[in-house]
Chain A
Amino acid sequence: MLDNVVDSDALKASSVTIRTIFRRLRRTPVIPVFLLSLVVFAGVFAPWVAPDNPRKGDLRARMAPPVWVESGTVEHMLGTDHLGRDVLTRVIYGAKISLIVAAVTLSIGGTVGVVLGLMAGWYGGWIDEIIMRLVDIALAVPLVLVALVMVVSIGKDFPDWLGGQTGLIVLVLASWIWVRFARIVRGEVLQIKNMDYVALAKVAGASTPRILAFHIFPGVINTLIVVATLQVGWVILVESTLSFLGAGVPPPTPAWGSMVADGRDYLAGAWWISTMPGVAILLTVISLNLFGDWLRDKLDPRLRQLAAD
C-alpha cells in the first residue's frame, strides 16, 4: 500500500508536469505563428524561394490546373493564370506586397495615431477636443466607397514619388487606421498620467516630450503591438476588397486581392486563379487574429474590453 502511495505520488507529479506542458502547448498558437512566419519568409525571400517569374508567363501554358488535378504538372504546382503566369510564384510574391502595404500603412497610420493619441491624452483641453472630433469624422466616412472614388479618379495620375496608385491606397487606408491607435493610446495615457511616477518626473522638471517618450510611451507599447497585429488583417482585407472593385494595387504587381479579382471571370473553368490567393488571405488573416488574441492575453488582458469598439 505504501509503495503504491509513493508510486502514485511520483506518477502524479510527473503526469502533472506533462499535462501542464500539454495544456500550455495547446494554448500557444504554434500553428498560426508557423503560418505567419511562412508568410513573412515568403515575403522577404520571394526572389529566391519562388519557382518562376511573377510578371512573365507563357501564354501557351495559360490556365493550367494545379498538380493534383488531371493534366496538372509539377512545374506549376498551383496552376497558371489567364496569362500563363505561375500561380504559386505570384502567391509568394503577393505575400511581399501584402506585407509591404500593411507595414507601410501601419507605420504611417500608427505613428500619426500614436502621436495624436499621446497629445490628446496628455494635453487634454482643446487639443483633445480637436483630435477627438477628427476621430469622429474619420469614423463617420464610409471608407470603402470613398477610397474607391479617390483611387478611380486620381489613382493613375498619382505621382510616382509618392508610390503611384499603391501609394494612394496606403495613404487612404492610413488616414483611417490612425483612429484606432489614437483612441487606445489616448485611453492609456489618461490612465497613466495620473500615476505617481509620472508626477515625480514632472516635479523633477522633466520636459513634456521626455515624459511622453520615457514614461508614458513604454506603458503603451504592449497595447500598440496587439492593436497593430490585429489591424494587419484588416488592411489586407480592405486592400483586397478595393482590388476586387477595380481600385487596388495595379497590375502586373501580384497582390493577393488583385489576383482574386483577376480570376473572377474564370471561376467556372480555372477556379484556382481566384481560390489560391483567396486561401492565402484567409490563412494569413486567421493566423493574425489568433496570434493577436494570444498576444493580447499575454501582454494586456485588460484590452479584452477595448476590443469591443
Chain B
Amino acid sequence: MISIWFFIGISLAFNGALILSAGIYQLVYPPANPGVVLFNLHAGVWWGATLLLVGLIYCFKFAPRRHS
C-alpha cells in the first residue's frame, strides 16, 4: 500500500516546483507593480525551494518500492 507520506511528498514537490518557477520568473522579469508587500524578499523563490526540497525528501523516503 502506498504511504500517505508519499502522497504528501508529491503534493509538496509539485506545488514547490510551481511556486519556485513563478518566483524565479518574477526574479528575472520583475513586474512594474508587484502588488505584494516585501516583494524584494522574493518569498516565492525560497519558500517554493523549501517545499520542493521537503517534498522530494518525502517522495524518496516513502517511495512505494522502497517503503514496502
A and B physically associate: no
Chain A residues engaging chain B, CB cutoff 8 angstroms: none
Chain B residues engaging chain A, CB cutoff 8 angstroms: none
